[in-house]
């Protein structure tokens, strides 16, 4: 049996906790939890003990090293906010533990270098939980591409829409500060750039980005007639903005955030139109890959629908895929449930257009989360993975390098060479072609 501790007990904590106290209890055991907020720490401890029926120790963030010394876990699960990941990853590796971290691996090149260097020194295993790879229709694309269905992939267009419910949520709290999240280019697009790297079996060479904050800004609110806004929804008398988050109405948000504010002043409901937001809500990234493929990617965080559309151009044909997703608010335990629409179409030169029967999944993130948890925690599932879905810090690193380069490109208004950003980041097998060849 492997032993785990988890640091960071907010919205994303629950998925890992429940995996360890429930389905994977026999072979993966949660021994302790850790957080900087005593309120969320107490909640997580009592929920874990209630679910698992065994004691779970609780440590404040200042006692992280003491926790590792007391518990001697095999692995530390990191689900803190993005700008703190590197610190916990490095401290866990130095203590001789493996690490399982949420995306993004980290937020900038200096922090990434620190992780690369420490991993090399300690030899610990750092897994990045890229749940999107496990969503069955996306795994199916990997299968189709790797089988050579459209020949060699030479280009991808990829448009990702966050709607005004899910997208707005990144503008309420720490994600809205670039120094805490790396912007959506890193925080959110790490998923998408990882998918591209993995689908292509290659890594980015040059990146050019354009974009800005076009919607979540004071001018938009004024144009909508929303004068007299307060810094947070709780104190705001403007009731008709359409973006109000009332934590009193959503039990889990109230318990996790509103009731715990007194300890750290972390407000989950800040105004999405505030002047001090410094992340982009609209951007386009063009990238050239080592294998010669080109990418044209757009993200908009205030779209009318949630989901994405993608086209792969190959030497033997074209593969298109679109996914209208459910819109969620992280930590709220509720999603706007509508029928998801997933469509994949294959057109090969000289043949009729073909609708592909799409692989289906069940559970969060289109069925990706439960499959990933099995692979992470169940030794039997981990043995066989022909799509190479489990990712380590190297894939985590390559996925954020596109976003880090995009951030630099936005400032310099010029293309950025990815190899100039960090040293010694290898290309792992999951980002290489299955049958060998140039990554």
Ligand X SMILES: NC(=O)c1ccc[n+]([C@@H]2O[C@H](COP(=O)([O-])OP(=O)(O)OC[C@H]3O[C@@H](n4cnc5c(N)ncnc54)[C@H](O)[C@@H]3O)[C@@H](O)[C@H]2O)c1
Measured CA angle at 300 (ends 296, 304), to 5 deg: 125
CB of 1 to ligand X, least distance (A): 25
Contact 348, 316 (CB under 8 A): yes
Q: Is 311 an interacting residue with respect to ligand X (CB under 6 A)?
A: no
Coil, strand or helix at 72: coil
For ligand X, the binding residue among 6, 47, 84, 407 (CB under 6 A) is: 84
Q: Is 366 an interacting residue with respect to ligand X (CB under 6 A)?
A: no
Q: Is 163 an interacting residue with respect to ligand X (CB under 6 A)?
A: no
CA distance 333 to 247: 12
CA distance 124 to 121: 9
Q: Is 331 an interacting residue with respect to ligand X (CB under 6 A)?
A: yes
Residue 111 CB partners (closer than 8 Å, separation 6+)? 85, 86
Cβ nearer to ligand X, comparing 35 with 98: 35
Per CB under 6 A, the segment of 29-37, 46-54, 107-115, 232-240 that binds ligand X is 29-37
CB of 119 to ligand X, least distance (A): 18
Q: Is 12 an interacting residue with respect to ligand X (CB under 6 A)?
A: yes
- Per-residue burial over 106-116, b if 16 or more Cβ lie within 10 Å, else e, is bbbbebbbbbb
Per CB under 6 A, the segment of 4-12, 20-28, 196-204, 392-400 that binds ligand X is 4-12
Cβ nearer to ligand X, comparing 102 with 306: 102
Q: Is 131 an interacting residue with respect to ligand X (CB under 6 A)?
A: yes
Q: Which residue is nearest to ligand X (CB)?
A: 10
Q: For tokens 């280009």, what's the residue?
A: 155
Count of residues interacting with ligand X (CB under 6 A): 23
Q: Is 80 an interacting residue with respect to ligand X (CB under 6 A)?
A: yes
Strand 153-163, strand 294-303: pairing: parallel
CA distance 16 to 78: 10
Coil, strand or helix at 345: strand
For ligand X, the binding residue among 5, 6, 28, 35 (CB under 6 A) is: 35
- The partner residues of 210 in beta bridges, in order of sequence, read 284
Q: How far is CA 33 from CA 16, 18, 63, 162, 186, in A?
A: 11, 13, 11, 32, 27
CB of 353 to ligand X, least distance (A): 33
Q: Is 37 an interacting residue with respect to ligand X (CB under 6 A)?
A: yes
Q: Is 40 an interacting residue with respect to ligand X (CB under 6 A)?
A: yes
Cβ nearer to ligand X, comparing 16 with 208: 16
Coil, strand or helix at 156: strand
Find, among 74, 203, 17, 127, the residue nearest to 393 by Cα: 127
CB of 340 to ligand X, least distance (A): 16
> Which helix (H) or strand (E) segment is 311 a member of?
strand 307-314
* 160, two tokens: 């990702």
Residues 90-129 interacting with ligand X (rule: CB under 6 A): 102-103
Per CB under 6 A, the segment of 74-82, 116-124, 200-208, 346-354 that binds ligand X is 74-82
Contact 13, 79 (CB under 8 A): yes
CB of 48 to ligand X, least distance (A): 14
CB of 155 to ligand X, least distance (A): 27
Q: Is 269 an interacting residue with respect to ligand X (CB under 6 A)?
A: no
Cβ nearer to ligand X, comparing 11 with 73: 11
Q: How far is CA 360 from CA 138, 169, 201, 322, 421, in A?
A: 10, 28, 24, 14, 38
For ligand X, the binding residue among 6, 21, 47, 79 (CB under 6 A) is: 79
CB of 157 to ligand X, least distance (A): 23
Residues 169-208 interacting with ligand X (rule: CB under 6 A): 187
Binding site for ligand X (CB under 6 A): 7-12, 35-37, 40, 61, 79-82, 84, 102-103, 131, 187, 330-331, 365
């Amino acid at each position: 049996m492997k032993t785990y501790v988890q640091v960071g007990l907010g919205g994303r904590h629950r998925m890992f906790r429940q995996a360890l106290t429930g389905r994977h209890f026999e072979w993966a055991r949660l021994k302790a939890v850790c957080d900087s907020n005593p309120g969320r720490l107490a909640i997580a401890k009592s929920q874990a003990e209630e679910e698992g029926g065994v004691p779970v120790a609780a440590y404040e963030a200042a006692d992280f090293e003491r926790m590792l010394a007391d518990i001697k876990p095999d692995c530390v699960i990191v689900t803190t906010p993005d700008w703190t990941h590197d610190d916990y990853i490095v401290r866990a590796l130095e203590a001789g533990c493996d690490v399982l971290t949420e995306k993004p691996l980290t937020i900038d090149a200096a922090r990434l270098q620190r992780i690369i260097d420490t991993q090399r020194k300690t030899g610990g295993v750092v897994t990045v939980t890229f749940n999107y790879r496990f969503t069955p229709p996306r795994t199916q694309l990997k299968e189709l591409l790797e089988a050579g269905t459209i020949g060699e992939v030479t280009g991808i267009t990829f448009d990702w829409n966050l709607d005004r419910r899910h997208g707005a949520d990144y503008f309420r709290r720490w994600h809205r500060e670039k120094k805490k999240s790396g912007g959506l280019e890193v925080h959110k697009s790490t998923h998408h750039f990882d998918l591209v790297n993995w689908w292509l079996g290659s890594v980015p060479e040059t990146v050019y980005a354009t974009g800005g904050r076009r919607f979540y800004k004071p001018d938009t609110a004024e144009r909508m007639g929303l004068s007299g806004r307060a810094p947070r929804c709780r104190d705001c008398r403007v009731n008709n903005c359409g973006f109000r988050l009332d934590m009193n109405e959503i039990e889990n948000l109230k318990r996790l955030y509103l009731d715990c504010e007194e300890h750290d002043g972390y407000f989950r409901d800040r105004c999405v139109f505030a002047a001090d937001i410094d992340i982009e809500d609209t951007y386009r990234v063009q990238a050239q890959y080592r294998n010669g493929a080109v990418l044209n990617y757009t993200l908009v965080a205030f779209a009318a629908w949630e989901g994405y559309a993608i086209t792969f151009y190959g030497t033997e044909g074209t593969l298109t895929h679109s996914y209208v997703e459910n819109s969620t608010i992280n930590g709220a335990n509720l999603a706007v449930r509508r029928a998801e629409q997933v469509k994949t179409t294959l057109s090969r030169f000289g043949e009729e257009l073909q609708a592909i029967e799409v692989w289906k999944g069940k559970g969060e993130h289109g069925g990706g989360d439960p499959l990933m948890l099995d692979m992470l925690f169940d030794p039997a599932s981990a043995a066989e993975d022909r799509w190479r879905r489990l990712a380590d810090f190297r894939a985590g690193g390559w996925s954020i390098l596109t976003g880090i380069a995009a951030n630099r490109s936005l400032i310099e208004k010029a293309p950025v060479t990815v190899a100039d950003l960090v040293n010694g980041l290898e290309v792992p097998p999951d980002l290489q072609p299955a049958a060998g060849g140039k990554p």
